[in-house]
Every structure is written in C-alpha cells, then in structure tokens.
Structure 1
Amino acid sequence: MIVGLRSLASRWTAVVPVAAVVVLAFTWGRHLPGAVVAVVTLVLAGAVLAAVHHAEVVAHRVGEPFGSLVLAIAVTIIEVALIVTLMVDGGDKSATLARDTVFAAVMITLNGVVGFSLLVASLRHKTAVFNPEGTGAALATVATLASLSLVLPTFTTSKPGPEFSTAQLTFAALASLVLYVLFVTTQTVRHRDYFLPVTRQGEVIHADDHADAPSTRTTVISLVLLGFALIGVVGLAKGVSPTIESGVTAAGMPPAVVGVIIALLVLLPETIAAWRAARRDRVQTSLNLALGSAMASIGLTIPAVALASLWLPGPLVLGLGPLHMVLLALTVVVSSLTVVPGRATPLQGGVHMVLFAAYLELAVNP
C-alpha cells in the first residue's frame, strides 16, 4: 500500500492539485506582480489538466452519466462559492455579477463546448451520434431555467428595473432547485439509459471502456485530488482576475469581458473532458458535460444568490438585456434543431461555434 501511494504521489497529476492549493493559500487576497502572475497561470493550467485526469478516473469507476455529473456539480459548487464571495466583497458593482456569470456559462457550454464537441466528433467520425431523448430533456430543462431566471426579470413589474421582487426571487430559486433535482433523478435513476453513449446503430453503450475500473482507493484519492484541483482552478482564476481586468481596461473593452474570461478559465476542465470524449466518439458524454454544467450553473447559482441577497445590501439584477435575450433565444432554437435528429454533421458544430464567436464578439463590442 505504501509503495502504491508513493507511486501515485510521484505523478504530476497528484502533485499539481496540492501545489495549486498551496499557491492559492499564499496568493489569496494579495496584489500579484507580473512574475508571480506568470507562475500562477502555469499552476492554473496544470490544475486544469489534473482536474480532467482525476474526473476521468472517477467517471471510469462510477460510469456514465454519474461521471459527467460529478465534474459538473463539483465545478459549479466551487464557482457558486466564488460568486457569492465576490458579491459580498463587491458592493453595488456586483449587482449583475450572478447574471453575467450564469449567462456566460450558458453560452460557453451550449455553443462553445457543444459546438466544439460536435465538430471534433463529426470531422473524426463523419457524423456525431447521441441520444436525442436524454439530450432533449436536458436542453428543455436548461431553456426553462434560463427563461425563468434570466428573461422573466426583465418583464416583471413588481419592482423597477430588471429585478425580481422577494416573492418572485424565492419562487425562481425554489423552481430552479426543484427542476435540477428532478433532472438529476431522471438522469441517474429512472431513465439513465437516455444519457449513456450510443453506437451508430442506436444501441446504448453500457461499458465505456474495456479496461478494468480503478480500485476504490484510487477512486477516492482521485476524488479528493479533483476537489483540490477545482479549488485551485477557481481560486487562482480569481487571483489573476485583477491582471485580466487591468488588461481589459487598457484595451478599452467593457468590464463584462472579465467575467467571460474567468468563466472560460473555470470551465476549462469540462471543455477538455468533453473534447476527449468526442474524440473517442462518446458525444453523449460531451453533451452531458455541457448541458449538465449549464443546468448546474443556473440551478445552484440562483438559489445561492437568492439566499445571499437576504444580507447583501445592494440590488440583485438578473434580467438580461435585449441583445443577450436574442442570443439566448437563437441558441435555444438552434440547439433544438441540432438535438432532434440524434446525429450531427460538421455543419451543426460550425453553427454553434459561430454563435459562440458572435457572443464573444458582442461581449467585446456590444
């Protein structure tokens, strides 16, 4: 056992997550000079790759769709903690932080991660195949959550501005939580087969690999190291955010671009995991990661910020503007047309990537 632990500790995937947490402890809340930012960025990149490795170890042990669920929920819980912390420290300027972060996560996952995965799989295997029943259910849940939490506040009249009243915010938080729990139950218990990878003949793949599953001890160690890696990713991303913010300001770009960059960094582990799954022709796993992350981002963030708003003095702005509502509506329509056939060509992947590029362009030049 001791030899096995030493062998595991000698691997960089075991060392980097711990190093990331140590670096985070020494840099948290401090102004970082340029040289330190460069070191932090390197550790951040290593933590991202380590998180992907350990997520795949856990996924191999528990199987799909539990593996995708573990990574999506782990990232989102840490991300939610970061959002609430920034809202507490940010005052009135953090009024739109939750909205901007959630919307960025939705657009990155539904267009960036989904489009990239479909493009990789279809270019490599001619077409990308997946289960439209499970993917359609996930998309419908994401669309409902996004509309209830991000679109309706723009049109309600109980409170001036794109804000919910206390009663409306309570309803939105409870509805988000209920829908998320209902979806997870559907995904993991009642209709698990809908979320498993499928062959090109439409048969469900119950075993994702012929290799032996990792032992319980290895899985537990990887789960702990996954937690360290994700804490490091989110915390170090916050640490380099002042440098990013200074660069964005110097370039004359809107402040919202900082949130987009941070969201891209935080979602890197899921993006890489989705890319690897797409290369193996496990597109359903890629879509589980993307849609699960979007759903968890809304379903966990909205209840958390609703609770935090009880003691936060500033307003909580959740309603999207007209530009972002158009992008969200177009994304939902295109995603629905992509999901229905259960297979996609490079064209569908390209369409989603163009929408993602449009989102990034309009974030820089609104």
Structure 2
Amino acid sequence: MASRTSSPWLRWTTIAPAVAVVVLAATWGRVLGTVPVIIVAVVLAAAVLAAVHHAEVVAHRVGEPFGSLVLAVAVTVIEVALIVTLMISGGPKTASLARDTVFAAVMITCNGILGLSLLVGAWRRKTTVFNAEGTGSALATVATLATLSLVLPTFTTSRSGPEFSPGQLGFAALASLILYGLFVVTQTVRHRDFFLPIDDKGAVVEEDSHAKPTTTRTALFSLGLLLVALVAVVGLAKVESPAIEAGVAALGFPQSFVGVVIALLVLLPETLAATNAARRDRMQVSLNLALGSAMASIGLTIPAIALASIWLSGPLLLGLDPTQIVLLVITVVVGGLTVVPGRATRLQGGVHLVLFAAFVFLAASP
C-alpha cells in the first residue's frame, strides 16, 4: 500500500510556502486587525520552518559549502530587494534604512547565530570543533566589508554627516563585490576543504552519513520551494511591520528598533538551520551560515544601494554611530579570539550571546 506521504504535494513543507504566498498576496498593502495579524504570524512561522527544511534538502544534495551559500545568498538577495523597494518608495525618512538593516544583520549573524550555534554544539560535549582557516578568512572578510561600508562613512570629510560622496560610494560598492566574489571562489573552488565539517581529529567529514540520499529532482523541487518560502518570509515580515511598529511605539522604543525586529524575522531560516547543524555536530556548517549571511548582507546590499542611489532622493546615511562602532569592534575582536583555536566551549557561545543581547538592549535603549 502506498504511503500517505508519498506525494510531495501533500506534505506540509510543500503546502506551507504556497499558503504563505496566498496570504501575502491577500494582505499586502492592507491595514490588518488583531486576528489577521495573528494569522499572518502563524503562517510566517510555518514558512520559516518550511524554508529551513528545503534548505537542508538542497544542502545535502549539493554538499558543503554550497548548501550554506545557497541559503545565505537567497535570503540576502530577497532582503536587498525589499530594502531597495522601501528606500525608493519611502523617501528621505529611509535614509539610514540600509545602514540599520545591514548592521543589525551583522550583529545577529556574528553574535546571535554564531553564539547560539556554539552553545548548542558544545552543550553535550566539552568542546565543539571547526576549521579555523576557513572561518578565520570569513571573519576577516566580514570585518573588512563592514569597515569599508559602515565605519569609514563616519570619518570621511567629502560630505557632511555619515555619508559617502558618489565616488566613495562607488568605490565601496566595487570593493564589496570584489571581496565577496573572491571569498565565494575561495570557499567553493580554491580552498573548499577549509569550509567543510571536521571531526575531533581534524579529518574532513564530507557527507552527513545519517541522512538519506537526495535525488536531483527532489533537490530542484526543494530549491524552488525554498525561494518561494523565502519570498513569503520577507514579504510577510513587511506585512507585519505596522503591527511591529505599533508594538515598538507602545513600549517606548526608538523607531529604528523596528528594523532590528524585521531583521530578526528575515534571518530566522538561517538561525534555525545553523542551530540544527550545530546539534548534529556539524559546527562548520553553522559558521558558514552565520558568517556567510553577514558577508552576503554587506557584499550584496551596498552595491545594490549604490546603484539605487541614482534614483534615490535625499542623503544616504551609511556611517555607524560611536556606540555601534564599539559593538562592531568588540564583535570582531572576540570573534577572532573564538576562531583562532579552531575549537570552542559554551563560554565562547555565551560571550557572543551577551554581545548580541547588548546590541538588542542598546538598540531599544540607545
């Protein structure tokens, strides 16, 4: 007798993205009441879980580090499209939207996702191991991208305020693309072994022996559903933003905190995927997801914003304020100290989570 779940069309992981897109189409641009907001939140959560499932299917088929790269780039491209759309339609009041979103993504990935992964990975063991060569190069690239795009505008003098001149913005955009491209080539071609999971003895673990083989057809099906689910996640996060804004205002938090909440929602698929990988003792996959998402967020957003600035009116504020710069610097320093040994304990995970908590607290109470 055939299994009731033999047809992929009848699985919840297939139905959830489709329902999410329908709900997105039905609610986009509308003012929602309390009940619809709750329904959208439930559908959003289902879409996130479905996205994580399909990302893992694709990752198992293409192998590491390609699987992590697919999820990171897919989420970032959709996120960038949302940012550019909001900036073009929002006018001068969105001048700092790109900066706030990118910085929130860096803090969430490099402290929140990374710290949670380390804590989960080391929970049942004394230490969790990863490849310091690959992770170190990823962290160095993130630090360079963040400095060029988010720190330097605060100190340049061609324009008043924390913004680049057109020439400086063009240079930052080109440098971001070059660095991100070099890293992707290094990660996937030249030194792929630096980004593969390793065991306690340092030997590369190519495949997850506990997972069943995935066919090409199944992987392509999951890739399509992954993209659909991610579009729905980002879109529904935007639909929820008025309710989020109302909640933030009711709590007395600054308006910029809305960007943090939306970034948290958008990055939920990476968070769950990285946590699942850490629980399976595949810490390198978790770090690939965390740092790869931070890198893609900067390396793809800044060039897109530079191109969109041709049509944008008003200033484009990219420079971080002093508090944000301090948080970025200590994140890079602590991240380096975490990466260098190639192994970490729950302590390192806790340190990164405290830094993430400090970022959230200071965003709510600057």
Asked if Structure 1 and Structure 2 have the same fold, meaning a TM-score greater than 0.5 normalized by the shorter chain, the answer is yes
1:6 is displaced (CA, Å) by: 6.8
SS at 1:180 equivalent: helix
Partners of 1:109 and 1:293 within 8 A in 2: yes
1:210 CA drift (Å): 4.5
Which residues of 2 match residues 166-177 of structure 1 at below 5 A?
A: 166-177=166-177
Residue pair 1:44, 1:232 contacting (<8 A) in 2 also:
yes
In 1, the alpha carbon distance for the partners of 2:4 and 2:126 equals 42
Task: Give me the identity figure in percent.
Answer: 71
User: What pairs up with 1:1-366 in 2 under 5 angstroms?
Assistant: 7-366=7-366
Superposed displacement of residue 265, structure 1: 0.4
Deviation at 1:180, TM superposition (A): 0.4
> 1:91, 1:314 within 8 Å by CA — same for their partners in 2?
yes
Q: How far 1:275 sits from its partner (Å)?
A: 0.4
| Deviation for aligned residue 1:5 | 9.7
Q: How big is each residue's C-alpha offset from its partner over 1:74-125, in whole Å with a ceiling of 9 and x where there is no partner?
A: 0000000000011011111100000000000000000000000001111122
Cα RMSD (Å) of the superposition?
1.3
Measure how far apart 1:4 and its partner are: 10
Amino acid at match of 1:18: A
Structure 1 consecutive aligned stretches of length 4 or more whose deviation exceeds 6 Å: 3-6
- Determine if contact 1:124/1:279 at 8 Å carries over to the other structure: no
Please say if residues 118 and 349 of structure 2, whose CA atoms lie closer than 8 Å, have aligned partners that are also in contact.
yes
- After TM superposition, give the deviation of residue 213 of structure 1 in Å: 2.1
Give the C-alpha shift of residue 205 in structure 1.
Answer: 0.8
**Cα shift at 1:212:** 3.7
2: CA distance, partners of 1:219 / 1:112: 29
CA contact (8 A) 2:5 2:11 kept: no
**Partner AA of 2:301 in structure 1:** T
Pairwise CA distance, 1:314: 1.6
Shift of 1:354: 0.5
**What is the distance in 1 between the residues matched to 2:361 and 2:206?**
40
Separation in structure 2 between the aligned mates of residue 78 and residue 5 of structure 1, nearest angstrom: 31
Instruction: Please give the per-residue CA displacement for 1:332-363, whole angstroms capped at 9, x wherever unaligned.
Output: 00000000000001111110010001001101
**Structure 1: distance between partners of 2:120 and 2:210:** 23
In structure 2, do the counterparts of structure 1 residues 231 and 11 end up closer, same or farther at CA, with 3 Å as the change threshold? same
Secondary structure class of the residue paired with 2:163: coil
Instruction: Indicate if the aligned counterparts of 1:110 and 1:290 stay in contact, CA closer than 8 A.
Output: yes
> Quick one: distance in 2 between partners of 1:6 and 1:110?
39
Q: Distance in 2 between matches of 1:133 and 1:6?
A: 43
Query: What letter is aligned with 1:159?
Result: R
- Kept in 2, the 8 Å contact 1:60–1:214? The answer is yes
Question: Deviation digits for residues 13-41 of structure 1, max 9, x if unmatched?
Answer: 00000111111111111111111111100
What per-residue deviation string (whole Å, max 9, x for no partner) do you get for residues 47-73 of structure 1?
Answer: 000000000000000000000000000
Conserved 8 A contact 1:176-1:302: yes
Instruction: Output the amino acid matched with 2:275.
Output: W
Shift of 1:276: 0.4
SS at match of 1:205: coil
Tell whether the 8 Å contact from 1:125 to 1:281 is kept in structure 2 after alignment.
no
How many residue pairs are counted as aligned between the two chains?
Answer: 365
Contact 2:117 2:278 in 1 (8 A): yes
> For residues 71 and 183 of structure 2, what CA distance do their matches in structure 1 show?
16
Output the TM-score relative to the length of structure 2.
0.98
Distance 1:271 1:211 in 2: 20
